[in-house]
Amino acid sequence: MFVPILTAIQYRPRFATCQADVSDNFRRCGPLVNEAAALGTEVIVFPELAFTGYSFLSMDDAVQVAERKDGPTFQRMASMAKILKCHVVWGFVESDGETLYNATSIAGPDGDLLLTNRKMNLWGNDFLWATPANDLPGVVQTELGWLSAIVCRDITDRVPQSRSGVFANRKVDLVAAPVNWSGGGFPATDWMEFVQNNSCALIVANRWGMEENRSFKHDFGQGGSTIVGKDMKPHIGGLKFNDDCAVTAMVDL
C-alpha cells in the first residue's frame, strides 16, 4: 500500500487586477511551499483561483488575470513540481478563446501538464464571468494511483440527472479539491460524503479572510483545510484558522 505525504496550502490571496498581482500572490506562498517541501511532500494543492482571488464582478474583471492552461502560472507550477519532484494542483481563470472557466490543473514531477478540469457547478461570483464545464472531470494515472482535481462546489457530486456522481463510478484514488469554502461545519459534510461515495482520499485546500473588489466585499470566513483518507478520517495537522498555513498528512492510497 502506497502512503504518500500530501499537503493542502491555505492562504488569503490579495484580489488581483493584473498579472503583476498574480505574480505577487504566488511569491507570498513561498514560505508555505518551503514548509511543505521540507516534509518531503508528494502532492501540493493550492486553493480555488489561488493567485487571482475570487470576487470578479464581470468578464472584464476576470479577463485581466485570465490565462491559457499553459500560461505563466502553469510555468511557475511546472517549475515547482520539477524542483520538488512532486505533483502540484492549483486553481486559475482559464481563457479558451473568448470563453473563461473557473479551472484547476495538475502538473506532474517532470513538469508536464497532466490534466485541466473545469468547474461544473458554478456559485456566487462565478455566474458573472465563468462558463460551466460540460464534461466530467478527467482522471490521470500516476505513480500515486488514479489522480484527479475538481473545483469547490463540484465536491457536492452534483451533475446532470442522467449521470451518477462527478466520476460516474470511474476509479479514482486521490482527488485534489481547490476550494473557497466559507461557512458551515468543519470538516464539511459534503467532503466526507464525497470520500464515501467515490472511495477515494481527498485534499481540500481552502482560503480564508475578507476580499474586496471595488465596493463589493466577500468574507470567506476562518478557512479550514483538511486531508480526508479513504477511511473517512480527516487530518488537520498544521491547520491554523484565520491564518496562512500548510496542512500535511500521510494517507494510505
pLDDT at residue 88, as a whole number: 98
Residue 221 contacts residue 195 (beta carbons within 8 Å): no
Largest CA distance in the chain: 51
Measured over the CA atoms of residue 145, residue 78, residue 125 and residue 118, the dihedral's sign is negative
Evaluate if pTM is beyond 0.95: yes
Q: What is the pLDDT of residue 186?
A: 96
| Tens-digit pLDDT profile for residues 85-123 | 999 999 999 999 999 999 999 999 999 999 999 999 999
Domains of the chain, by residue range, sit at 5-250
Whole-angstrom Cα distance, residue 106 to residue 63? 22
Under-70 pLDDT residues of the chain: 1, 161
Q: The C-alpha cell of 63 is what?
A: 479577463
Output the pLDDT for position 169.
Answer: 84
Cα–Cα distance for residue pair 164/161, rounded to 1 Å: 7
CATH of domain 5-250: 3.60.110.10
User: Is residue 211 within a helix (H) or strand (E), and if so which, with residue range?
Assistant: strand 210-213
CA atoms within 13 A on the CB side of 225: 35
Output the pLDDT for position 1: 62
